[in-house]
A and B are shown apart, each in its own frame.
Chain A
């Protein structure tokens, strides 16, 4: 315990820096994954063949452990931030993709028939009807992806991308349990805190989408 307090008093700035790097890596990967997975998911809901292909591809990629993917990427992308972001993006895509497809496949048929029957132009229907109604379910996928990415971003330190993983690997190298504790618990706390925030946001979206009857 004393060690822990001593660590924070001596390395406070360094710790904050690591948390920031950790969150930054996760955020970039999640943003990229969202940009790729949401359009793919929307198209997948419309075209069944694309859906089964992309499900196969991403499903397979998902099975590969993140650490293995990181190591595989070293010869291609080198070390540092880029391969870390790429492998975290790969990790984040499947849950977002699957939930987006599900959300768009399960949109209420009567609502879509009404929108079409009123002559709503397709782009407007997508933006003002389909997206808002699909959002809560798609967002639940984003929430899953976020907790996976924050946990896995620890491994990024292994290839020199920084983040809270640095603490873990230093702790392992120096046999310092206090560093392992600090690193492990910080990642867990970060993941829980972000998860809780996203759950709140999701609940609010569900209310907005009118899915909770008054």
Chain B
């Protein structure tokens, strides 16, 4: 089921911080969009997605997922229906890959056969052979494989919304490309709504159906990669584009368009 996310005048200032992490943010993500949230560190992009699953509570403003105000929802139940992937992955080191992936289905009390089938399906989806990997422990996997498991775990209960916080930031370039391509494939196959935080402009432009550029807690521009490249809205966006320029040509290719 596709899922829309809406921010209405959301502000968050952490205690002792000089300026708000989110400064009156209003925006709407349509169902099925793959939105990349781009900005330098400390720009509020992580805070923004953490407000969606209530790991951070905003000071003011409203966030709606599928039209429902998240502040009215039970946090645990809300999170069980929103996939969440973080840069450090956070796999449970004492559980096998299969048990890790089964976490949310187990919380939701699915029956055993259904969980087993789902785990196999998901491992196959992220290109890990279930027979080979389901019984392994996280410490026996490479960084790229661990994040594949992290992605499978986040997708386990088939959430219609996926929040990803620099998920590929610590992964080497070759594996990162592969994971990006797989994520695009998964998005195209499922039409899930994805909010994907990154500080890598090339990644943001490659993955996003729309890119949300943030700086100092404010939205600088929220538009398609093409529009952002051709009509940067602010000096900040222009400087970001310049910083990524030498790789831009290879990263950003509009479908059906040659370079």
Do A and B bind? Answer: yes
Residues of A in contact with B (beta carbons under 8 Å apart): 108, 110-121, 124, 129, 132-133, 208-214
- Beta-carbon contact of B78 and A119 below 8 Å: yes
- In the complex, are the beta carbons of A111 and B91 less than 8 A apart? yes
Nearest-neighbor residue (CB-CB) of B154 within chain A: A118
Which of A110, A114, A124 gathers most chain B CB within 10 Å?
A: A114
Closest residue of chain B to A135, judged by CB? B94
Q: A118-B84, A119-B76 are in contact. List 11 more A-B contacts (CB 8 A).
A: A111-B92, A111-B93, A114-B86, A115-B92, A117-B79, A118-B79, A119-B82, A119-B107, A120-B103, A120-B107, A210-B93
A210 touches B84 (CB 8 A): no
Within 8 A of A (CB), among B114-150: 137-140, 150
Q: Which residues of B are found within 8 Å of A114, using beta-carbon distances?
A: 84, 86, 89-92, 150, 153
Are B90 and A208 interface neighbours, CB within 8 A?
A: no
Q: Are A208 and B55 in contact (CB under 8 A)?
A: no
Residues of B within 8 A of A132 (CB): 94
State the CA gap A129–B82 with chains docked (Å).
20
A119 and B55 contact, CB distance less than 8 A? no
Interface size class of B (residues with CB under 8 A): 20 to 34
Q: Which of B55, B81, B92 contacts A117 (CB 8 A)?
A: B55
Q: How far is the CA of A153 from the CA of B11 in the complex (A)?
A: 61
- Residue from A112, A117, A209, A213 with most neighbouring chain B CB atoms (10 Å): A117
Residues from chain B with Cβ under 8 Å of A208 in the complex: 94
A115-B53 Cα distance, complex, nearest whole Å: 13
B88 touching A121 by the CB < 8 A rule?
A: no
Q: CA separation between A211 and B138, bound complex, in Å? A: 10
| Known contacts A111-B91, A116-B55, A117-B53; A213 and B86 CB within 8 A of each other | no
Inter-subunit contact B76/A110 (CB<8 Å) = no
Interface centre among B53, B77, B81, B103 (most CB of A within 10 A): B103
Inter-chain contacts of A209 with B (CB < 8 A) = 93-94
Please, which residues of chain B bring their CB within 8 A of the CB of A124?
107
Known contacts A119-B76, A133-B93, A211-B93: does B140 contact A113 (CB below 8 Å)? no
Q: A108-B90, A133-B93 are in contact. Are A210 and B137 (CB under 8 A)?
A: yes
Q: With a CB–CB cut-off of 8 A, which chain B residues contact A210?
A: 93-94, 137-139
Contacting pair A113 B90 (CB below 8 A): yes
Q: How far is the CA of A113 from the CA of B55 in the complex (A)?
A: 9
A selection of 6 A-B contacts at a CB cut-off of 8 Å is A108-B90, A114-B91, A118-B154, A119-B79, A132-B94, A214-B140
Query: Cβ of B75 < 8 Å from any Cβ of A?
Result: yes
**B160, CB-defined interface residue at 8 Å:** no
Interface residues of B in 43-80 (CB under 8 A from A): 53, 55, 75-80
A118 to B79, CA, bound (A): 5
Bound: A117/B163 CA distance, A: 10
Contact B79 A214 (CB under 8 A): no
Q: List B contacts of A129 (CB < 8 A).
A: 92
Distance, CA A129 to CA B90, complexed state (A): 11
Considering the chains assembled together, what is the distance between the CA atoms of A100 and B137 in angstroms?
25
Contact check, A118 vs B153: say whether CB atoms are below 8 A apart. Answer: yes
Bound-state Cα–Cα, A108 to B88, Å: 10
A102 and B154 alpha carbons, distance in the complex (Å):
30
A124, closest chain B residue (CB) = B107
Q: A210-B93, A214-B140 are in contact. Are A118 and B103 (CB under 8 A)?
A: yes
Provide the bound-state CA to CA distance between A90 and B150, in Å. Answer: 44
B104 part of interface (Cβ distance < 8 Å): yes
Residues in chain B near residue A213, CB distance under 8 A: 139
Picked from B77, B86, B163, the residue with its CB within 8 Å of the CB of A119 is B77
Minimum Cβ distance to chain A for residue B54 (Å): 10
Provide the bound-state CA to CA distance between A124 and B88, in Å.
Answer: 22
What A residues does B91 contact at CB under 8 A? Answer: 111, 114
